[in-house]
A and B are shown apart, each in its own frame.
Chain A
């Protein structure tokens, strides 16, 4: 396995995986496409630095500075951090004093609930995927399909039984309840995804190891798992993203103490006697983007290194 050794490789200037290379021309091309693709997000981030009265200006104000007079003033806004402080503390009544909005708690909840449930789903789901891949049960496909079916119904249909169930068990409004629910919510995708990675692995090495007397457990941890690290990373990222932004279950099953950001966010959509607070909504979204953005960024390295374990495939 080639390890990135120089700072250049870390920055992505050298190839670090088993894929073909292209030069700066590709960078330029991909750069343009990526920036266009990113534009709607960029506009949200820019809006987060605007006052409410500047957010909807025509022509759109998209520059925080006039670049020494290069940009006409009509396109320049005066950047402010007010929206960011407002996320956590602002006056909830006109002319009132600033009070805590609870968003510190909501951010903690989102991070806690999403990370624990995705990790749990990853552990349980990977084991199951390995089982489905290597030790097929009779009617394996049927089980897999039933698991998939659980994702097919709109959440609104199962919500009434789940609310009843949570009430009976006292799970409503607790961390445990919503974490278990999200774990189940993530399992189908985790199992299907990890199974497709396990299926792709060559069996020769495993069989050889088994003949050498390695236990199933050892084969799993020492041989299979390292080969699907990329898959684990991708699955983790997907699970995190889906859970991070889940709305309906969170709305109905979290209490005021366990409320997550996507639910609390609508405070800025039609909140305090006003429609959308554009700057505030953008600031909440930008802050909310940061953790999952960086997790993805750091796992991406892993994800893109590809399956470079010294196995001959196929």
Chain B
């Protein structure tokens, strides 16, 4: 960016300077992690807090010395995230190397045992892998459904027509529902005795319809409810991109008699690509965490157990904090690989375009 003209030289990594934020982060991380292992949680908390403040200060000084607005602008967000998110994340990463149950007072370092147990134990590993496979299935099915439905809905609303805003808000409503209420009401819609689905099918077959008594039906029920709730999310992002395409571009294309497909590909798509990618990214991340709807609709029965629900049972009900942390870091690793793949493809497209 041409606007930036550094006036202070960039310090080396180990140069002790008030504006050496890299060193601050490094020291901050090391001291924080060490304090987490070595000190009681209360002391560790304050030390990590101080480290966060130090990193923030280094950022600010660095930004100030170098007229470096980026650092100044980013600092508050980094500070909040560090205290409320990254710090607890590191803490639970630390816990995953210990034998620790939150309802017991003892803690013991065990290295990678939790990870090997989670991945290879003859009793636990098959269950974990099965849950992971189910989760992958849900990710693929729900995200695909959401992207397609969301995209089609956005296309429908991309044109201006009478009463548009009143119809659009109707479509946006599902994602405003609380998952608890939506899940409970979907269990009612699917219920063979009271449910509306069974009622309408019975009008034709004369038999009560049991949707969720087999894997296909149970998965379909969950995917439908989830896609219904979150397609509007995709729609809104795509729509925000679609309406930002300047009209004159279309007009110019019309004069040049560009075909519909090419018009979409060369004019519309570049405007929505970023937002589409964002929608995909966030929905995939959320889909990996799917648990609420599964709990409310099937309790994980009929082959719908997800890794996230499994995690709730391990880490919350059974208080096996360390084992839970290990599972979740394995999961995090998979999500990171996947999202990196997304971003890699997205970036290659950008460069190619």
Contacts and interface: CB of A to CB of B under 8 A. Distances in A.
Q: Direct contact between A and B in the complex (CB less than 8 angstroms)?
A: yes
A137 B66 CA distance: 12
Contacts of A47: 185
Interface string A122-156: 00110110111011110001010111111111111
B311 A157 contact: yes
B1 A304 contact: no
A297 B176 CA distance: 12
B73 A135 contact: yes
A21 interface: yes
B172 interface: yes
A221 interface: no
A168 B41 contact: yes
B244 A43 contact: no
Contacts of A96: none
Interface stretch (A63-71, A86-94, A99-107, A229-237): A229-237
Given A17-B243, A44-B185, A196-B274, A238 B311 contact: no
Interface stretch (B82-90, B119-127, B213-221, B297-305): B82-90
B244 to A, nearest CB: 5
B162 A153 contact: no
A262 B178 contact: yes
A58 B199 contact: yes
Given A20-B160, A148-B339, A131 B71 contact: yes
B70 A137 contact: yes
A158 B76 contact: no
Contacts of A245: 176-179
B31 interface: no
Contacts of A184: 80-81, 83-85
A138 B302 CA distance: 49
> Interface residues of B toward A: which range?
35 or more
B299 to A, nearest CB: 13
B348 interface: no
B109 interface: no
Contact of B88 (A137, A161, A207, A247): A161
Contacts of A20: 158-160, 247, 250
A81 B85 CA distance: 43
Given A19-B242, A156-B312, A168 B42 contact: yes
A158 B325 CA distance: 8
Given A132-B70, A187-B80, A265-B178, A30 B164 contact: yes
Given A12-B165, A136-B1, A150-B89, 20 more contacts: A19-B159, A24-B162, A29-B156, A59-B199, A130-B73, A131-B72, A131-B74, A135-B70, A143-B78, A145-B340, A152-B332, A154-B291, A158-B92, A161-B88, A184-B83, A187-B81, A216-B69, A285-B177, A300-B169, A301-B165
Ranked 8 nearest A-B pairs via Cβ: A135-B70, A131-B73, A184-B84, A128-B77, A306-B243, A161-B88, A161-B91, A150-B85
14 contacts: A30-B156, A30-B164, A40-B174, A40-B182, A43-B196, A47-B185, A127-B73, A148-B281, A162-B88, A193-B278, A196-B275, A245-B177, A247-B292, A307-B243
